Structure 1
Amino acid sequence: MERTARAASTPTPEPLPAGDVAALLDGVPRQRGPVAALAPDTSRTVLQLRLPRPLPRRLLPTPTGTPVTFTYTAILALTSLFASWASPGLRYALYQDSSTDVAHLLRTPVFVLLASALWIAGGLLSPYALAFVLVLTALERRIGGARAILVFLAGHVLATLATEVPVGLAVLAGHLPDTSLHRLDYGISFGVAASIGALSGLLAPWLRWPLLALVGYSLVTDLIAFQDPMTNWGHLISLGIGTGLWPLVRRWRRERLQALPVAVPAAP
């Protein structure tokens, strides 16, 4: 609540000396959370009010506020720009070498699972590019960078395996041709979908359910269109993985809030 001071009818008193002001500050009740900070290497407690960041700075990654998302975004921007400038043959070769198809997963699973997450299918203009920036930034601010990446990788890896393993089994059973072992599969969309699902569990209900309804409707619509059913199923699976992580991300959120610094009284 904003407070205002009314001028008294008595004459304005003389300013207090600096030492008296410091003594008065020692009587101010301690505040919890990010509104109070202790100045290092001094004998006085300094109460520092942290004003809310401007909205664009809170939505977008910054080197100091969300370093993990900022670094990952920079890498994705570089790879996307390189792909847009490279020749079609080179671009296809890079995508193929990074593809998480069955053949690559059998030979170099760790490499392709990581390399495939360095590209954006559709480039910087893809809706998943914007979703990545906004969702990962919000998630990192709430649970930390390392944990946000764990959520992203959980969706990316588990949804990839959930869609590619059945392809391999279908080829072994003779239901699909051998060429299905080399289908092109790369991008960040599985990780983004899982991050959206996880982030929704940290939002207020009035925002959580409309977000899930909108994203779920979009993914189901893509699946009904049947243009790329394996990828579309992967998006729904990864969204489900993210929502399944609600208890974990909520616990991480509580731990992060409890770890915020608390001001202590000044030494006499």
Structure 2
Amino acid sequence: MERTARAASTPTPEPLPAGDVAALLDGVPRQRGPVAAPAPKTPHTALHLPFPRPLTWRVRPWRLLPTPTGTPVTFTYTAILALTSLFASWASPRLLDAVYQDSSTDVAHLLRTPVFVLLASALWIAGGLLSPYALAFVLVLTALERRIGGARAILVFLTGHVLATLATEVPVGLAVLVGHLPDTSLHRLDYGISFGVAASIGALSGLLAPRLRWPLLALVGYSLVTDLIAFQDPMTNWGHLISLAIGTGLWPVVRRWRRERVQDLAAGVVPVAP
């Protein structure tokens, strides 16, 4: 009876204001709703790329040129070519002719010192720094190194340089052997970077979007065929076409190298070039 009496004598509490009720409800656990499904991963986010945006490159004109940190191989090679071109500009004609002869990949030198002349001939620019192949070398090798790495870019360059040289000089040696050409053809002056550049253009085109790939190949191919029709230097002109075909034949290889480089960039194995 005491408990009942006390309960009956307890005054009825007044209702809380609306603001206090809202404050009390904030501490009540809410029911869980349906869990939202995670957003599907794109191929780039699945790789956890260290870029602000997945492989979205802004247009930066300075990336067209080689730099010591971004493209060290192309930068070093370009510096060497600049030095040899300056030497060719200031050296006496007699000295320059002797150096060119020693660096020539003619049949006679290929039989005696093949490795030396194949490397030495790629240290000179026929026509000097103002040659179209000089500008093409800088732009194409820079773009190729940024996509597949410096060592692989030089490997593409040397593949075109060596194979196109052999493809043009071996027939000359055979023609002299059977008597179709005079013995002086064995000492035909042959040097320069044009074969390697043409092969690099062919390889780079396989890494470009179709809207850029086919116009580039059409423009370069038309220029090389026009030179061949002019018949001023048919062996060299055939070498340019052969090296361009060698570069396009490397599409499966360079595309695989490109995928591997993207994965290395994503994993942080290779630092992002500035």
TM-score when normalising by structure 1? 0.78
CA distance in 2, matches of 1:5, 1:116: 116
CA distance in 2: counterparts of 1:4 and 1:266, whole angstroms: 81
Query: Would you say the 8 A contact 1:37–1:48 is kept in 2?
Result: no
Instruction: Give the drift of 1:7.
Output: 55
How has the CA–CA distance of structure 1 residues 266 and 23 changed in structure 2, closer, same or farther, with 3 Å as cutoff? farther
Shift of 1:43: 28
Q: Is the 8 A contact 1:45 1:266 kept in 2?
A: no
- 1:171-207, CA deviations, whole angstroms, 9 ceiling, x for partnerless residues? 0000000000000000000000000000000000000
Q: For 1:34 and 1:206, how far apart are their aligned partners in 2?
A: 46
Distance 1:77 1:107 in 2: 28
- Distance in 2 between the 1:5 and 1:135 partners? 100
How high is the sequence identity, in percent, across the aligned residues?
91
**Structure 1 segments unaligned to the other structure (5+ residues):** none
Q: 213-222 vs 38-47, which deviates more?
A: 38-47
How far apart in 2 are the matches of 1:29 and 1:266? 47
Alpha-carbon shift at residue 90 of structure 1 (Å): 0.6
In the alignment, structure 2 segments of 5+ residues that lack a partner are 56-60
Secondary structure, counterpart of 2:271 in structure 1: coil
Task: Tell me whether 126-135 or 27-36 shows the greater mean CA deviation.
Answer: 27-36
Measured in 2, the distance between the counterparts of 1:202 and 1:8 equals: 90
Q: Are the counterparts in 2 of residues 26 and 45 from structure 1 also a CA contact under 8 Å?
A: no
The number of residues matched between the two structures is 268
**C-alpha distance in 1, partners of 2:206/2:162?**
21
2:66–2:72 Cα contact (<8 Å) kept: yes
Which residue does 2:235 correspond to in 1?
A: 230
**1:86-122 C-alpha deviation (Å, 9 max, x unpaired):** 0111111111100000000000000000000000000
Q: Distance in 2 between matches of 1:104 and 1:3?
A: 120
Distance apart, 1:27 and its partner CA: 25
Cα deviation for residue 39 of structure 1 reads: 27
> Is 2:125–2:131's contact at 8 Å kept on the other side of the alignment?
yes
Please state how far the C-alpha of 1:261 moved relative to its aligned partner.
3.6
Does structure 2 retain, via aligned residues, the 8 Å contact 1:33–1:261? no
Question: Aligned partners of 1:41, 1:18: CA distance in 2, in Å?
Answer: 46
Once superposed, which parts of structure 1, at least 4 consecutive aligned residues long, lie more than 2 Å away?
A: 1-56, 261-268
Q: Which has the higher contact order (CA 8 A, sep 6+)?
A: 1
Q: 1:79 to 1:32 in 2, by over 3 A?
A: farther
- 1:31 is aligned to 31
Indicate the residue corresponding to 1:8 in structure 2: 8
With over 3 angstroms needed to count, the CA separation of the structure-2 counterparts of 1:20 and 1:125, relative to structure 1, is farther
CA distance in structure 2 between the partners assigned to 1:3 and 1:150 by the alignment: 98
Q: 1:141 to 1:28 in 2, by over 3 A?
A: farther
Secondary structure, in 3 states, of the residue corresponding to 2:4?
A: coil
For the 8 Å contact 2:202–2:217, the answer to whether it is kept is yes
- SS of match in other structure, 2:166: helix
Q: Report which stretch shifted further, 197-206 or 3-12.
A: 3-12
Q: CA RMSD in A?
A: 15.5
C-alpha separation in 2, matches of 1:233 and 1:4: 115
Distance 1:225 1:143, change over 3 A: same
Task: Answer with 1 or 2: which has the greater Rg.
Answer: 2
Indicate the larger mover: 36-45 or 167-176. Answer: 36-45
